[in-house]
């Protein structure tokens, strides 16, 4: 037998439905209120990333405790006021080359990036990545080749040091070649930059809001520091050019290198590439310098006094428009 359930048999009155709905609402736990949104700062996660460079190099130096004690005693000095540090390999050319190349790599790294954190992390615009990576990779390969040259000359350099150090020579102070290899390292790490306040942790809403606010304050400070670094470089290059183009009191022109002009021309690319926040003033400064430096060559500045004065005036006018960094 087929049974039909009529509407009347299962119908719930409007009053009963409202009563049941009200009861269900009363039984639901109180839903916590959403935290107030933290103040927003510009996100540069898509226009920049963090980069960390770490290079380790053996110093080739060692404190000689006995020699230090001898110097202290011979000069009737108090204990601990004198310290003798000796070069284990004297002036080893191969090691000096590695050390100088290491300094050059660090300088390149600094010049192509912007400061970000005290831990050594620096900010690199994504537009700068390929140029940076290509140059750093080339220098890394050269660095590794120079390290190999030093390691191959190591045993010979020890024999040379034995003669140059005299009684200060101690063979036990020299690491084995295998141990020495471990004292050289080249590491380059790229790390994505998170959006400001992008936290995914399971904590209370009040604590989450506090952490987000704290991080966005930090994010904003670091971003300001990075952009100020670009402005500081601009001040330095323009100030140097203005100073060298000026005449001395005796009306003699000051001598300058071609790099004086090259450094200012380089600012145009720097201001464009490092403008990760799309700062209007920085973009305008790049355009101003582009127009100012068109046709400016070291030769023209040296040979044409009128042109030299005009360019200096334009540079001084540009400096006057730079933002105050309260440094």
Question: What pLDDT was estimated at residue 43?
Answer: 66
H-run or E-run covering 50 = strand 48-56
What is the distance between the alpha carbons of residues 23 and 15, in angstroms, rounded to a whole number?
12
Domain ranges, ordered by start, for the chain: 48-192, 227-320
Q: What is the mean pLDDT of the chain?
A: 83
Q: Is the pTM of this model over 0.75?
A: no
Residues β-bridged to residue 247 = 253
186-221 pLDDT, tens digit each: 999 999 887 655 555 555 677 767 777 777 788 888
Q: Which residues contact 286 (CB under 8 A, 6 or more apart)?
A: 267, 268, 271, 272, 275
Question: What pLDDT was estimated at residue 65?
Answer: 79
Could you tell me if residue 90 is left (phi over 0), alpha (psi between -120 and 50 degrees) or otherwise beta?
Answer: left
- Residue 252 in this model has a pLDDT that exceeds 80: no
What is the distance between the alpha carbons of residues 103 and 100, in angstroms, rounded to a whole number?
5
- The pLDDT-based confidence of 24 (bands split at 50, 70, 90) is very low
**93, 98, 103, 109 alpha-carbon torsion, rounded to 10°:** 150
């Amino acid at each position: 037998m087929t049974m039909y359930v009529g509407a009347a048999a299962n119908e719930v009155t409007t009053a009963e439905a409202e009563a049941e709905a009200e009861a269900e609402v009363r039984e639901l736990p109180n839903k916590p209120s959403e935290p107030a949104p933290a103040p927003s700062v510009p996100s540069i996660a898509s226009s920049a990333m963090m980069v960390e460079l770490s290079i380790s190099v053996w110093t080739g130096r060692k404190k000689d405790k006995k020699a230090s004690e001898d110097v202290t005693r011979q000069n009737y000095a108090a204990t601990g006021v004198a310290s003798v540090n000796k070069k284990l390999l004297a002036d080893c050319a191969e090691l000096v080359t590695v050390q100088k190349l290491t300094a050059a790599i660090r300088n390149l790294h600094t010049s192509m990036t912007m400061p970000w954190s005290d831990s050594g992390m620096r900010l690199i615009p994504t537009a700068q990545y390929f140029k940076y990576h290509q140059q750093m990779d080339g220098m890394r390969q050269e660095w590794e080749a120079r390290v190999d040259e030093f390691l191959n000359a190591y045993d010979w350099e020890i024999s040379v040091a034995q003669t140059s150090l005299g009684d200060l020579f101690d063979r036990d102070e020299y690491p084995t070649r295998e141990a020495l290899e471990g004292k050289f390292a080249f590491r380059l790490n790229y790390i994505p930059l998170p959006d400001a306040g992008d936290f995914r942790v399971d904590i209370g809403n009040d604590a989450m809001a506090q952490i987000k606010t704290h991080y966005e304050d930090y994010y904003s400070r670091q971003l300001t520091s990075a952009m100020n670094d670009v402005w500081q470089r601009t001040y330095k290059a323009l100030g140097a050019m203005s100073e060298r183009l000026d005449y001395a009191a005796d009306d003699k022109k000051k001598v300058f290198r071609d790099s004086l002009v090259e450094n200012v021309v380089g600012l145009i690319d720097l201001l464009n590439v490092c403008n990760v926040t799309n700062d209007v003033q920085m973009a305008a400064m790049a355009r101003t310098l582009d127009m100012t430096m068109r046709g400016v060559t070291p030769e023209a500045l040296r040979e044409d006094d009128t042109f030299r004065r005009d360019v200096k005036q334009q540079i001084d006018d540009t400096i006057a428009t730079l933002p105050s960094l309260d440094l």
